[in-house]
Every structure is written in C-alpha cells, then in structure tokens.
Amino acid sequence: MNRGIKRKSWALGAAVSALIVGIWDHSAHALPQDVKDDSELRFIQIGAKNKEERTTIAKTGASVEAVRSDSVWAFANFKQITKLHDQGFQIIGNYDYKTSRGGHERLFDFPSNDSHFHNYNRMLTEIRNLQSKNPDLISLVSIGKSLEGRDLWAIHFNTSPDSLNQGISNKPGIVYMGNHHAREHVSVEVPLMYAKYLAEHRNDTAISQLLENRDVWIIPMVNPDGAEFDVSAGRYKWWRKNRRDNGDGTFGVDLNRNYSYHWGTEGAENDSSAETYLGPAPFSEPETQAIRDFVKSHINLKVLLSFHTFSELILYPWGYSYDGISKTEDLRAYQKMATTMAKWNHYKPQQSSDLYISTGDTTDWAYGELGIFSFTFELSPSGMEGGGFYPGQGIIDKVFKDNLQPCLYLLNVSGNPYQVLDTGSETNWLPNYVQPGSQF
Ligand code: 0X9
Ligand code: ZN
C-alpha cells in the first residue's frame, strides 16, 4: 500500500416505442430498418408487483435501478426488452435520459449546474486538505489502483500515531465506501462530507470519544474510472460499471457483481454488454481486488457500509437468496440496526433480496466470508421523480444530514455490534442532537 498523503440518437426508438404501446410484432422478431445495434440501453418502467417478478426481470440481464410497489425502473437493451415482453411483462414507460438534466457543456467535469459534486481530482484536493489540517488524526492511504491507474484512496482516522503510520489498529474498525457504481455520484458526496464532519467535530465530546475508541476508514470513490467517464463528455453518460475493455467491443464490469460470494449463480449477467456484467471471474477487477485485500487485511473491521443510489433503502444480507440469515443472533442484530437507523433517515429497512436477487455484491461477501456486519444504503432520491441518479447538487446537504446519525450510530456499534440487542442500547451513548427523530 502506498502511503502519504453508444452513438447516434436512439436507434431503438421505433422498436421500443412499439413495444411500449403494445403493438410490437414479436412473432417476427425482426429489427426495424434503422436498428443497427441491439445493445443500446433504454431506461424503462416495467410492471412488477413482487420480489419474484423483480428477480425474473433481473434474470433477463436488465438492471433494476428503482423499485416501486407496482413497477420497477430498469436499464434494458432491445434483446432484454423483447424477452420481458415475451414473458408477459408490461413495459409501462420509458425515460429519455439523453434529453434529461446535465446538458451543460463542461468537458471532463460535472455540468456547471452540478459543480458542487466532486470529480476525482476535486475529491483528492478535498481529502488532502483534510489530512493536512489534521495530520495527527488522518492519513491518506492508497489501497490499490483502478484499471486506468488512479489511486483508490482511503481516508484513515485513528487517534494513535502508530496506528496511523502503520495503517493497522487493534481498535474495533468500520469502513464506509461509495461509488461502486459510476453514475451514483451522491454516494461519493456523503462519505466525503462525513469525513469532513468527523474532522471538524473531532473535539465535540461524543465525536472525540468515538474517534478515540474506533478505527475509521472512508473510501469515497471505489470506481473513479467509471465516475470520471460518466462526466467526461459535458453531459452525463449514465455509466454504471468500471471501464474494463472486455475485448469484444463492450466496456465495463459491474463491480457490485464481481465479489466472490455465490458469484455468478443468479441475478448477474454473463453478457459483457449488460449493465450487471459479472466479469470473467470473481475479483477479476483491480477495484474489487483492492477492496478485498484491504478488508481482509484489517481484521479489526466489524461493520461495513457501502453507499449506492437511489431509492432510500437500508439493505442487509442476503442478496443472493431469499433465505434469511440463519444465525438468529446476527439476523436480530441486523434488523435492530437497520430499523434503528431508519428512524433517522426514514429509509426502508429490508433484506437485499427483497429488492431482487443478485449475486457478487460487496455486502454478501463481507458478511458471508468474513462475518462483518455489512449494509448497503440506497441514498436519495426515492425515485425517478426526484431525479434518479442525477437529482442535482441541491440534494447533497439533505442526504448527508439524513445519514449522519446512521453513520455515527454504526461507528458506535462497531465496538460490538451484538450490543444492539441490549434494550435501550441505541440511544444510551448519543448526545442530544443525534437522538432518534431529532434534527441535525
Ligand atoms: O443492484 C445493485 O447493485 C444495488 N442497487 S443499484 O441500484 N445501486 O445498482 C443493490 C444491491 C443490493 N444487493 C442485492 N440485491 N443483492
Ligand atoms: Zn449502485
């Protein structure tokens, strides 16, 4: 570890529109004249009422991005949409993301009206500033390099100079990470603001006690290549995966399908053009390898939180199966933690597979292989109405405030997660401003 610091306008339009209005002649399966490329993705709303239907949708290779009680929003290509249609699913609507927000030309950075978001360099400047202001509390550690060679930066908080130097601590540890998915930029901002918050409030009684007794790691950008690519053209590209050249004209592996636990068994796609492409092997990607090696080498880690967007959900294992966690004590602890955190951010706590089954995600691996209590937060907005992946910079402060208390709570309980099973334990350490239901 180093220390220190797709082309023409919608070609599918005619075919997909025909499907959407229900007049597609699927007996012929012929593509209209203007459809030259069936990998073009559409963002569509599909009727689906329960997790079984959502899993069937995910199995076609469509990537389900938002779940409502009667439908889901998903990315799907022509083949997948046809399959869905053949299986009797109703395609209710579609969203033309090419004419949506973010059309303000600013190459290699966020559109000007979203300039509060951090691209890789601005993120790096921010965390370097933080470190230089707090050299006795923070060190910056590169836990590896992305495929395109960008350092994957971790912000390490520890009050012991030795631990800070060595990057290893005996204190109970927690790791927060963001941006496994490129376009989920709010998932970078929240851990970044949280790091700033911890540094700026290091002398507050509760925060200083927590920092004194814990080992804290924050990795705000797990997928910098994807995040940079997403903002490279002066408009958002709606990119999800990393930037692996798959060698067949397609790019990207879904990092949240590339972890090894039950890798590739269900809810991940073998088709390299798919949004949820699992990669050629578990941990085939440098980004997931770096997370694996980091987590495995820090045996003090008790809790992991991976930020994603969007939908306002608190998810816990399993994602690979509808089966619940079999260790009753763990399940009860997970449920207690999830429902407690939901009191603050008002997100919906649920088992990951209640959303849909998928394999190879971070949290199934960290819990399944290493026993670390691991959560996925699907941050705001709650749906497409709120802007989906691109809600605008105006949302950032609120999302951070909604999630500060859950983050601090997890920091506290990482001392011994099983303690949450003791009655009243969720509030007995908290200062007034972080009591459940209270405002920041
Ligand atoms: O599908 C994902 O990777 C996550 N949702 S997102 O919209 N951010 O892509 C959810 C992962 C939850 N895990 C499982 N359902 N296994
Ligand atoms: Zn995601």
Q: Does the pLDDT at position 27 exceed 70?
A: no
Judged against a pLDDT cut of 80, whether residue 101 lies above it is answered with no
What does R_g of the chain's alpha carbons equal in angstroms? 21
Catalytic residue status for 329: no
For residues 159-177, give the mean pLDDT: 98
Three-class DSSP category at 378: strand
Q: Which of 280, 296, 313, 300 is nearest to 382 (CA)?
A: 313
Q: Which residues pair with 203 in a beta bridge?
A: none
Give me the pLDDT at residue 11, please.
34
Q: From residue 216, give the alpha-carbon distance in Å to each of 157, 253, 281.
A: 5, 28, 30
The string of DSSP letters for 56-77 reads HHHHTT-EEEEE-SSEEEEEE-
In the chain, what percentage of residues exceed pLDDT 90? 75
Residue 315 CA: nearest ligand 1 atom is 12
Q: What is the pLDDT of residue 429?
A: 52
Range with the lowest mean pLDDT among 21-35, 107-121, 154-168, 348-362? 21-35
First-to-final CA distance of the chain: 37
Whether the per-residue pLDDT at 201 is higher than 60: the answer is yes
Average pLDDT value for the chain: 88
SS3 332: helix
Confidence at residue 97, expressed as pLDDT on a 0 to 100 scale: 65
Question: pLDDT-based confidence at 34, cuts 50/70/90?
Answer: very low
User: Which residue's alpha carbon is nearest to atom 2 within ligand 1?
Assistant: 256
| Confidence at residue 235, expressed as pLDDT on a 0 to 100 scale | 85
How far is the centre of ligand 1, averaged over its atoms, from the C-alpha of 200 (Å)?
Answer: 32
Per DSSP, 116 falls in state: T
Quick check: helix, strand or coil at residue 376? strand
The answer for residues whose C-beta is within 8 angstroms of residue 314's C-beta and 6 or more apart is 338, 341, 342, 345, 347, 348, 349, 350, 375, 376, 377, 406
Of the listed ligands, the closest to the CA of 364 is 1
Q: Is 77 in the pocket of ligand 1 (CB under 6 A)?
A: no
pLDDT digits (tens, 9 = 90+) for 413-423: 999 999 999 87
DSSP code at position 145: E
Question: Tens of pLDDT along 215-225?
Answer: 999 999 999 99
Q: Alpha-carbon distance 299 to 245, whole Å?
A: 33
Q: Which ligand is nearest to the CA of 363?
A: 1
* pLDDT at position 171: 97
Q: Is residue 2 predicted with pLDDT exceeding 60?
A: no
Counting every residue written for the chain, the total comes to: 440
Q: Which ligand has an atom closest to residue 74 CA?
A: 1
Residue 415 CB neighbours (<10 A): 16
CA of 75 to the centre of ligand 2 (A): 13
Pocket test for ligand 1, best of 263, 315, 354 (most atoms within 8 A of CB): 315
| Active-site residue, from 53, 287, 378, 426 | 378
CA 291–ligand 2 middle distance (angstroms) = 16
The finding on whether 181 has its CB within 6 A of some atom of ligand 1 is: yes
User: Residue 307: in which H helix or E strand, if any?
Assistant: strand 301-309
What tens digit of pLDDT does each residue of 273-294 get?
Answer: 999 999 999 999 999 999 999 9
User: What single letter denotes the amino acid at residue 293?
Assistant: D
pLDDT at 377 over 60: yes
Q: Identify the residue with better confidence: 390 or 33.
A: 390
Reply yes or no on whether the pLDDT at 430 is more than 70.
no
The string of pLDDT tens digits covering residues 42-95 is 888 899 999 999 999 999 999 998 899 999 999 988 888 888 988 999 888 777
Point out the ligand 1 atom lying closest to the alpha carbon of residue 66.
7
Question: Which ligand 1 atom is nearest residue 254's CA?
Answer: 3
